[in-house]
């Protein structure tokens, strides 16, 4: 029982430290607001889960298969992805990519590409990814 309480306290303290750091990380204002198009799952959910993540975080990149399986088992659930880009520029760049793809209705596809990448996306690779997903490159660049 004490181990469970300790684990919960560690999670809470970690979230609070991350939240304070995020406020000072220099992340653009639009990343500090929760976008409404960054989700997977039900359109009219009974339950909403918010996953706090960063595309450059190795622990976050370990989660996608678990979340996909969970949503498949529970079709009444929506998972909203709240990106906290704590790894500076690469994280901010990829968070903006996800938001821009979401504006064209392709958040989930972009999320799947970004969360499974080991290396950060470079500006040169960005256009290749955008084209592969069938997005409008000019609109994507404007939205970023």
φ/ψ of residue 106, rounded to 5: -125, 30
Prediction pTM value: 0.72
| Helix (H), strand (E) at residue 95 | helix 88-103
Please work out, in degrees rounded to the nearest 5, the angle formed at the alpha carbon of residue 41 by the alpha carbons of 35 and 47: 85
pLDDT tens string 51-88: 888 999 988 888 888 888 888 999 998 888 888 888 88
Residue 14 has pLDDT above 70, yes or no: no
> In which element (H, E) is residue 19 found?
helix 2-23
Give the model's pLDDT for residue 127: 93
pLDDT above 60: residue 26: no
Looking at residue 43, its pLDDT comes to 85
**Cβ-count burial of 30 within 10 angstroms (0-12 exposed, 13-18 middle, 19+ buried)?**
exposed
pLDDT, tens digit, 9 for 90 and up, residues 79-117? 888 888 888 889 999 999 998 999 999 999 999 999 999
What's the pLDDT band for 39 if we cut at 50, 70, 90?
confident
């Amino acid at each position: 029982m004490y181990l469970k309480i300790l684990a919960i306290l560690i999670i809470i303290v970690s979230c609070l430290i991350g939240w304070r750091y995020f406020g000072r990380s220099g992340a653009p204002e639009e990343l500090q607001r929760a976008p409404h198009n960054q989700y997977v799952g039900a359109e009219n959910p009974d339950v909403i889960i918010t996953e706090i993540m960063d595309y450059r975080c190795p622990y976050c990149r370990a989660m996608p298969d678990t979340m996909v399986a969970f949503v498949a088992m529970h079709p009444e659930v929506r998972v909203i992805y709240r990106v906290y880009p704590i790894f500076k520029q690469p994280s901010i760049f990829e968070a903006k990519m996800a938001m821009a793809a979401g504006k064209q209705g392709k958040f989930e596809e972009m999320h799947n590409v970004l969360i499974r990448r080991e290396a950060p996306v470079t500006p040169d690779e960005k256009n290749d990814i955008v084209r592969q997903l069938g997005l409008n490159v000019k609109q994507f660049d404007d939205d970023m």
